[in-house]
Amino acid sequence: MSSLEEISVFTTGEDLPLKEVFRKLYEKLEAKEAISPRSPDKELEKFFSGIIPDYDPERVYISDLRKILNWYNLLLAHQLLEFPAEEKEEKPDDSGAVKPEAKKEEKTAEKSKKKV
């Protein structure tokens, strides 16, 4: 069994953590439900590529898209999707004054993470 935190989606670049896929869905759909996971294959591919344009369709199967959309809709229905605003990190500028700056995300490439 894998937790959702360990799953990522194959893209043509770096793999995208499932949490980020959910965030993109949430933002693009304005916190509304996604299309039905039972939609026709071509409709699912078109929808998903509109959200994650660089996903790798050769390694991400239709069954994976169905699972992702099903999970997203379930989590949304149970109000379990939370995306806190980016935390701010304080950094001094050239004058020595401290200004808030967006915190940089750490990239961790754990080989043990499951890919979809």
CA 81 to CA 73: how far, in whole Å?
Answer: 10
The pLDDT of 23-33, averaged and rounded, is 96
In a domain, residue 104? The reply is: no
Local confidence band at 20 (pLDDT 50, 70, 90 cut-offs): very high
CATH (domain of 65):
1.10.10.1650
Local confidence band at 109 (pLDDT 50, 70, 90 cut-offs): very low
In a domain, residue 106? The reply is: no
Total count of domains within the chain: 1
Domain that holds residue 79: 4-84
> Is-above-0.85 flag for pTM?
no
In a domain, residue 47? The reply is: yes
In a domain, residue 103? The reply is: no
CB 7 within 8 A of CB 113: yes
Q: Which residue has the tokens 């699912």?
A: 44
CA–CA–CA angle 12, 38, 67 (5° rounding): 50
Q: What confidence score (pLDDT) does residue 88 get? A: 47
